[in-house]
């Protein structure tokens, strides 16, 4: 074999394999095997025009070119509008990718919604298309530039998407199993004939996507009662009571990550307020799709005035004036309705009011509503709101005082990244942080959901352990179990959400987190340095800690090295799943090297070492470690554990390994000792059992 060498891309110097910096110019070499590739869950959208060749035959080449250009441009616009990327054009087919290079947390749904948009647009233009969406794991070249013809994603998910597309009925959207499973709560489906695909033993299951069943960024309410948020609801109910009885305005922002239960709590509060005769008006911000400035506020004004989005502008303006008059009285309506019309984007030409005037009219509107009766204004998902709405909310909260209005905003924590001072300086403000559900509440929720699907609650504990107190994850895990009782893999919907959290990190932080995931739920600074040298590692770790993703532990198992832990097992798991196999192996080998250098003689980490050598693709070394660990366990009277370790070693050993006989013998002896222990024949010397 040739000795491998690394050639420095900067100066051309040849360096020995494994070098981390160039010997001549000190340029750092890229982390082993990384190359900007990741395994990711992506949703692939294929659109193809039907019968375009026939049509082309009848047309002048220039006309063909013109309509094809228009078609490609429109498909591109729709894909990008929903947050996807156009990967390539193949003949008349267009391939779009959602979930890479950036995951949004709901990429499968975005892909299906983009498919609907293309379908509807094609129908209008009398174009015949076949469309398919398929979701699954792919290998993604993050630095690829599809615009230059470089492929970004590869994997079976792409081929299957293409296959589904060619089987899709004309004018319809066909999706694969993962897409269906991930989006079934927000999209209506009908089962379709399974599709035969080349190279696949079983036909591919398929569904026809019919229509969305909820608004963008919204999810239907779960079928079980709210569990374990009594205290939070009580707090909010108390605030409402004061607002209503003392006629004092108050502003609340409920914070929490995706799926933790903000909307649900908002809904329960709305019902409570409505039950007490209060008025509730809701507005929401959306992650994509059409959005106008002040959108959530505009929705509220429209609801009060009885205006629908498809009313024609003249009619809408008339309704606005009469609707506002009912709230503010005719004189004030005359003054403020034109400004509110501008805020809603209904303004005619010539209405030019400065920002202060607009904000003042908004304030008068809200105050008048509240004077008419205690009112709660709910603003969902303000982390997606534009600047104008956030400014408006802050202004309303700062200026409205002695009227019974409760402003409630719901936000994911990323709002604070954009607006660190959110809520600061307001006269009556409460920030409510939604924490994960407790173990008991999680268990009860899981059991209730399983019961809803007619299942026993014996899996509730497993769900509780995995979901980390997130009700949405509990729902998704319960649904996965209900659909396929062997489901041990993380549902795609959960992976999508966690992936989006990872992607919101700066690249460097993310890559540290991914490297750390190889070390384990617990990791050490030194191990990270062994994987890849980084000058700014301390800063990066500090930043990850500040983002509440990892935690520096007070006590380290390795002398002289800092120990950290992942705060969330799910982040750890999803980060690890991102690594391609080769990169995984190289990193495991680095960790194993590090552990044996630092702890080699002590022998405390043999099991961990065995794990890393196995995953590094070096079973011989793993066997050595396992045997030491097994002997140790046997001596320490952890007989059961020792038996397991011996059998793992036997599984990894080569058939002709001369140690096999000896190891099997030791395993048998240990197993016998275990049996005697269990029967109480042997006195156990104080050790663990």
Applying CB under 5 A, the residues found at the interface with Mg ion are 263
State the binding partner of 99 from Mg ion, ligand ATP, none, CB within 5 to 8 A by kind: none
Helix (H) or strand (E) holding 289: none
Nearer to Mg ion by C-beta: 85 or 263?
263
Of residues 263 and 328, the one with the C-beta less far from ligand ATP: 263
Q: Which is nearer to Mg ion, 323 or 471 (CB)?
A: 471
Q: Can you tell me the distance from the alpha carbon of 46 to that of 173, in angstroms, rounded to the nearest whole number?
A: 10
Return the number of the residue (263 or 361) whose C-beta is nearest Mg ion. 263
Taking the complex as a whole, how short is the minimal distance between the CB of residue 639 and ligand ATP, in angstroms? Answer: 44
Report the SS3 class of residue 338. helix
The residues near 617 (Cβ < 8 Å, ≥ 6 apart) are 585, 589
Q: Closer to Mg ion by CB, 218 or 386: give it.
A: 218
Beta bridge partners of 90: 93
Helices (H), 59-176: 61-81, 107-124, 156-167
**Residue 264 within binding range of ligand ATP, rule CB under 6 A:** yes
- Determine if 649 is a binding residue for ligand ATP (CB under 6 A): no
C-beta of 165 vs 263, nearer to Mg ion: 263
List C-alpha distances in Å: 682 to 351, 479, 674, 676, 677.
94, 48, 9, 6, 5
**Phi, psi (deg, nearest 5) at residue 160:** -65, -35
Binding residue for ligand ATP, selected from 122, 252, 260, 575, defined by CB under 6 A:
260
CB-based contact 168:192 (threshold 8 Å): no
Residue pair 588/567 in contact (Cβ under 8 Å)? The answer is no
Q: Based on CB atoms, which residue is closest to ligand ATP, 408 or 638?
A: 408
Longest dimension (CA), the chain: 99
- CB 565 within 8 Å of CB 516: no
Question: Which residue of 262, 336, 443, 501 would you call a contact of ligand ATP, by CB under 6 A?
Answer: 262
Which one among 11, 59, 221, 462 touches ligand ATP, defined by CB under 6 A?
221
Q: Does 224 interact with ligand ATP (rule: CB under 6 A)? A: yes
Does the footprint of ligand ATP cover residue 228 (CB under 6 A)? yes
Total residues at interface with ligand ATP (CB under 6 A)? 22
Q: Which of 278, 311, 309, 305 is nearest to 295 (CA)?
A: 309
Question: Binding of ligand ATP at residue 222 (CB under 6 A)?
Answer: yes
Q: Which residues, at least 6 apart from 255, have a Cβ–Cβ distance to it below 8 Å?
A: 262, 411, 412, 413, 415, 416, 431, 432, 433, 434
Nearer to Mg ion, 105 or 526 (CB): 105
Determine the interface stretch with ligand ATP among 151-159, 227-235, 286-294, 680-688 (rule: CB under 6 A): 227-235
Helix (H, G, I), strand (E, B) or coil at 163: helix
The entry of ligand ATP, Mg ion, none that residue 472 binds, CB within 5 to 8 Å by partner kind: ligand ATP
477 binds ligand ATP (CB under 6 A): no
| 4: exposed, middle or buried (Cβ count in 10 Å: 0-12, 13-18, 19+) | exposed
Rounded CA-CA distance 652/668 in Å is 18
By three-state DSSP, how is residue 444 classified?
helix
The one segment of 45-53, 110-118, 253-261, 306-314 that binds ligand ATP by CB under 6 A: 253-261
216 binds ligand ATP (CB under 6 A): no
If binding is defined by CB under 6 A, does position 475 make contact with ligand ATP?
yes
Q: Pick from 219, 552, 659, 664: which binds ligand ATP (CB under 6 A)?
A: 219
Peptide bond preceding 101: is omega within 30 degrees of 0, i.e. cis? yes
What backbone phi and psi angles, to 5 degrees, belong to 655?
-55, -35
Residue 457 has what DSSP assignment?
G
Find out whether 43 and 133 touch, Cβ atoms under 8 Å: yes
Q: Give the interface segment with ligand ATP, choosing from 140-148, 261-269, 307-315, 531-539 (CB under 6 A).
A: 261-269
Distance of alpha carbon 253 from alpha carbon 116, whole angstroms? 34
Decide if 178 contacts 136 (C-beta within 8 A). yes
Minimum distance from residue 419 beta carbon to ligand ATP (Å)? 17
| CA dist list (Å): 445 to 183, 224, 230, 317, 440 | 21, 8, 14, 47, 9
CB of 203 to ligand ATP, least distance (A): 33
CB nearer to ligand ATP: give 481 or 623.
Answer: 481
227 belongs to the binding site for ligand ATP (CB under 6 A): yes
Interface pattern 400-429 for ligand ATP (x via CB under 6 A): ------------x-----------------
Q: Nearer to ligand ATP by C-beta: 147 or 220?
A: 220
What is the per-residue DSSP string for 185-223?
TTEEEEEEEEE--TT-SSPEEEEEEEEESS-TT--PPPS
The three-point CA angle 419-395-254 to 5° equals 50
Between residues 23 and 271, which has the closer beta carbon with respect to ligand ATP?
A: 271
Residue nearest to ligand ATP (CB): 261
Stretch of 47-55, 116-124, 471-479, 543-551 contacting ligand ATP, by CB under 6 A:
471-479
Q: Is 226 in the site for ligand ATP (CB under 6 A)?
A: yes
Instruction: Report what 500 binds from ligand ATP, Mg ion, none; CB cut-off 5-8 Å by kind.
Output: none
Question: What, of Mg ion, ligand ATP, none, does residue 374 touch, CB below 5 to 8 Å by kind?
Answer: none
Q: 338 is written with which tokens? A: 């034109």
Please check whether residue 357 is in contact with residue 363, taking contact to mean a CB–CB distance below 8 angstroms: no
Residues from 364 through 393 that contact ligand ATP (CB under 6 A): 381
**Could you tell me which stretch among 200-208, 226-234, 305-313, 570-578 binds ligand ATP (CB under 6 A)?**
226-234
Contact 271, 367 (CB under 8 A): no
Binding residue for ligand ATP, selected from 138, 445, 481, 643, defined by CB under 6 A: 445
Report the partner that residue 491 touches, choosing among Mg ion, ligand ATP, none (CB closer than 5 to 8 A by kind): none
- Residue range at the interface with ligand ATP (CB under 6 A); choices 90-98, 223-231, 521-529, 634-642: 223-231
If binding is defined by CB under 6 A, does position 258 make contact with ligand ATP?
yes
Q: Least distance from C-beta 286 to Mg ion, angstroms?
A: 11
515 to 574, contacts with ligand ATP by CB under 6 A? none
Where does residue 154 fall: left (phi above 0), alpha (psi -120 to 50 degrees), or beta otherwise? beta
Q: Length of the chain in residues, anyone?
A: 689
Residue 259 contacts ligand ATP per CB under 6 A: yes
Query: Which residues in this chain contact ligand ATP in the complex, by CB under 6 A?
Result: 219, 221-222, 224, 226-229, 256, 258-264, 381, 412, 445, 471-472, 475
């Amino acid at each position: 074999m040739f000795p491998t060498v690394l050639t420095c891309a900067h100066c051309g110097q040849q360096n020995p394999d494994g070098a981390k910096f160039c010997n001549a110019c000190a340029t750092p070499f890229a982390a082993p095997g990384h190359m900007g590739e990741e395994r990711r869950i992506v949703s692939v959208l294929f659109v193809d025009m039907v019968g375009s060749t026939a049509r082309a035959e009848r047309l002048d080449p220039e006309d063909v070119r013109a309509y094809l250009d228009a078609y490609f441009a429109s498909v591109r616009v729709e894909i990008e509008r929903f947050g996807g990327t156009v990967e390539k054009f193949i003949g008349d087919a267009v391939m779009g990718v959602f979930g890479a290079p950036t995951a949004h947390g709901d990429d499968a749904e975005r892909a299906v919604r983009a498919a609907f948009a293309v379908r509807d647009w094609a129908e209008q233009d009398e174009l015949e298309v076949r469309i398919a969406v398929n979701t699954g794991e792919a290998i993604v070249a993050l630095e690829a530039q599809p615009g230059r013809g470089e492929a970004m994603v590869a994997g079976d998910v792409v081929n299957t998407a293409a296959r589904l597309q060619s089987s899709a009925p004309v004018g319809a959207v066909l999706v694969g199993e993962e897409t269906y499973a991930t989006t079934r709560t927000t999209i209506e489906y009908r089962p379709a004939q399974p599709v035969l695909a080349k190279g696949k033993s079983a036909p591919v299951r398929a569904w026809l996507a019919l229509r969305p069943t909820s608004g963008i960024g919204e999810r239907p309410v779960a079928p079980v009662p709210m569990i374990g948020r009594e205290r939070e609801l009580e707090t909010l109910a108390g605030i409402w009571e004061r607002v209503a009885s003392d006629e004092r305005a108050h502003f609340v922002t409920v914070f929490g990550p995706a799926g933790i239960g903000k909307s649900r709590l908002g809904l329960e509060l709305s019902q409570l307020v409505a039950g007490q005769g209060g008025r509730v008006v809701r507005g929401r911000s959306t992650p994509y799709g059409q959005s106008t400035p002040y959108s959530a506020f505009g929705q509220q004004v429209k609801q009060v005035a009885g205006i629908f989005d498809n009313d024609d502008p003249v009619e809408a303006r008339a309704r606005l004036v009469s609707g506002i008059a009912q709230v503010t009285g005719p004189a004030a309506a005359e003054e403020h309705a034109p400004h509110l019309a501008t805020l809603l984007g209904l303004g005619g030409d010539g209405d030019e009011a400065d920002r202060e005037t607009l904000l003042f009219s908004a304030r008068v509107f809200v105050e008048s509503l509240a004077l008419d009766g205690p009112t709660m204004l709910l603003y969902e998902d303000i982390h997606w709101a534009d600047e104008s709405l956030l400014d408006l909310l802050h202004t309303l909260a700062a200026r409205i005082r002695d009227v019974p209005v409760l402003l409630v905003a719901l936000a994911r924590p990323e709002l604070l990244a954009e607006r660190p001072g959110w809520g600061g300086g307001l006269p009556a403000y409460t920030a409510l942080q939604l924490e994960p559900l407790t173990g008991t509440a999680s268990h009860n929720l899981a059991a209730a959901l399983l019961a809803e699907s007619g299942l026993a609650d014996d899996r509730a504990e497993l769900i509780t352990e995995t979901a980390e107190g997130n009700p949405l994850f509990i729902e998704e895990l319960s649904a996965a179990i209900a659909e396929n009782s062997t489901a041990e893999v993380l549902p795609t919907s959960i992976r999508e959400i966690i992936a989006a959290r990872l992607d919101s990190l700066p690249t460097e932080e993310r890559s540290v987190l991914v490297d750390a995931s190889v070390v384990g739920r617990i990791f050490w600074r030194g191990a990270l340095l062994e994987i890849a040298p980084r000058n700014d590692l301390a800063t990066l770790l500090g930043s990850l800690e500040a983002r509440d993703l990892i935690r520096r532990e007070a006590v380290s198992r390795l002398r002289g090295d800092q120990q950290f832990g992942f705060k969330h097992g799910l982040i750890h798991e999803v980060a690890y799943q991102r690594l391609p196999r080769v990169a995984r192996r190289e990193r495991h080998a680095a960790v194993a090297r590090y552990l044996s250098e630092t702890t080699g003689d002590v022998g405390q980490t043999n099991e961990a070492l065995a794990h890393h050598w196995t995953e590094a693709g070096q079973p011989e070394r793993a066997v050595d470690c396992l045997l030491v660990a097994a002997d140790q366990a046997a001596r320490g009277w952890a007989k059961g554990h020792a038996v397991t370790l011996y059998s793992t070693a036997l599984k990894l050993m080569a058939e002709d390994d001369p140690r096999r006989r000896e190891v099997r013998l030791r395993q048998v002896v240990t197993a016998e000792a275990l049996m005697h222990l269990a029967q109480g024949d042997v006195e156990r010397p104080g050790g663990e059992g």
